[in-house]
Copies of this chain bind each other. A is one copy, B any other.
Amino acid sequence: MATLNRPGAPDGHICGIDTAMEVIGGKWKVLILWALHEHPYRRFGELRRLLPGITEKVLASHLREMEADGIVGRVSYDEVPPRVEYSLTEDGARLNASLEPLAAWGRERADRQG
């Protein structure tokens, strides 16, 4: 990622929000986070079914980025057919928790607008 390139701060970051936005900056990332929170330890195909509309390519690349960011864990079992399980890391769980107030704000706003 690192679409953010803002001068004015040492590494292009101004406040902590930037760091967080970089990590969740992807069309489906918060939903993947959410899905893994509600349904821990899901397989690739299960996640795909939990997120109607996502394509395999995007799911795979998002998962790999989130894994690299340390918010998603991946365990691959050497079976046939292959089995891979994704889960939230501790950091990912904390990220998800810190998204809750934002979700509450969004829900309230959605309610107000009917």
- Residues of A whose CB lies within 8 Å of any CB of B are 3-4, 6-8, 13-21, 23, 27, 30-31, 34, 51-53, 91, 94-95, 97-110
Cβ 8 A contact of A109, one of B15, B91, B99, B104: B91
Contacts of A109 in B (CB 8 A): 16, 19-20, 23, 91
A106 and B6 contact, Cβ closer than 8 Å, known pairs A14-B31, A14-B34, A101-B101: no
A16 and B105 contact, Cβ closer than 8 Å, known pairs A3-B27, A21-B30, A30-B21: yes
State the CA gap A14–B37 with chains docked (Å). 14
Cβ 8 A contact of A16, one of B91, B98, B110: B110
